[in-house]
Structure 1
């Protein structure tokens, strides 16, 4: 991997992590189209640490409040009545599905599921789900329940497949459950923190190994790509929260469909290889 490639992929990661368009799909597609090789699931997981660091800083006050409420609730029955105590548990519970499935299907996630035909297909299919949820769901709640945390956690786990989108999956599930856009987005961002940090840290040894196929980044290149994703990601999360307060997700729906259709055309004509 060159320095130019590392910086470009860091920018792509930062731009797409929080939008419901699948950052892993974009890393996969951009690295294949521009650079002729897959950057790999491990590299993608590690540079996601940058965008999640952006979330931690952006929501630092909320996260600190949740942590304090959770620790207080462990030792006090009265403190357990605090909604923040329950929300902290919802984040923990919602993180379980992706953690378990990520470990069980690690090899498949890093190989077979990165086939570009799969990426193109799920980009379009889950765009339709997001459109239906955004247009037809009631969106009349801003408080989460245990049911919400479990179902949105399962939706997040589907993002192990490039093209589903971590934020897109959880937002779609949240909207179907009746949450408004702001509440679904806030929980989606919080829910991603344990999963992404876990996956990123877990993947560091694989990036350091540098013996696999495709693009191989050096340690300095990985650090720079992660830093770039942090800066761009921080700007994107702030923009998205303002955007969804006044607009629907339909622009992202049409973008996903267009990207999926374009990718299918490139694959069908042999311009790019699916693996």
Structure 2
């Protein structure tokens, strides 16, 4: 169940790549705890908007973000806010699993070491175990922590990446098409994991699969051609959409 508290308040958020405006003034309130999914056809601005929440668009040359985006009341574009610290609070899981070419242990320990989250080896060991347990991976890898993370299966790699994000104690986890490279069994495991994690984190997921959005999310936002068309409880969006464009997309008439 979604927490009633609001995590992000976005007002008139626009994103432009040079002269091309990819997002046209998005207004949305993202709740804390629970899962919010972004759906819509390819190129509609879902992933562009997702990257606004951890300022990943800052890293794209020629990309300009305007408008107000506040997290827990703080403007995330405030010059006093270090983007590196923001990205520790707002973790990201990409479409293709991207474990570091390091051991499973070091994949998880990397962030806590950089941010000074533990002071002893025992504390770090405990944090690595806790993170892997939360990501549903501990029992599968506990006897091979020294082996490379890149040697795991695709589904295990994606859960390793989630464990890596969890290890720095984030408040938010962004997921950009996290299951698109996974087989159905690995996808089901990932969706079960998302269902467990939503009790603890604000999760925002971009998915091309409407069935997945319907299964995992509490709230759904439908984007079309750079506009936010509809945002509501997932069940309402899929069964009683207010906008005919949403209805057409869900019924497969546009896309």
What is the TM-score with the length of structure 1 in the denominator? 0.26
Identify which of structures 1 and 2 has the higher relative contact order when contacts are C-alpha pairs closer than 8 Å and 6+ apart: 1
Q: Which has the higher strand share?
A: 2
Q: Which has the higher helix share?
A: 1
